[in-house]
Amino acid sequence: MKIINTLFILSIITGSYSLQAQVVEDTLLVKGVCKMCKERIETAAYIKGVKFASWNNETDELSIAYREDKTSREEIQESLLKAGHNVGDTKPTDEAYNSLPGCCRYDEVDKH
């Protein structure tokens, strides 16, 4: 009977472990120029399922960690594009880019 109980408990532990969502760590290149961009980029990246987002102004790298059962890299990219920022070689719509404040228009101003 002890063996059956032990096997039952082990199967519950193993089953619950396999049901835990995997957290994926990734890096995206996101164009921006200033602290306002940093705030906007990180806010846009924090969609449902994202656990961590930090953008580096010097390298344009956005480090993210997200639950793959809640969101995807593509959904995060789409949110960033809607906020008006290039993600890698993908550009936002003209409307999204033009909604950025003048000091944040990375195609027109230098980093500051």
Residue 95: alpha-carbon gap to chain centroid: 22
Indicate whether this model's pTM tops 0.85.
Answer: no
Residue 110: its pLDDT value, please?
86
**Stretch 4-31: mean pLDDT:** 68
- pLDDT recorded at residue 7: 46
Closest alpha carbon to 65 in 5, 14, 25:
25
pLDDT of residue 105: 95
Residues 6+ apart with CB under 8 A from 13: none
pLDDT of residue 17 exceeding 90: no
Q: Answer for the pair 40, 104: CB distance below 8 angstroms, yes or no.
A: yes
Q: Tell the CATH topology of 21-104.
A: Alpha-Beta Plaits (3.30.70)
Quickly list H helices, the chain: 2-19, 35-45, 73-82, 94-98
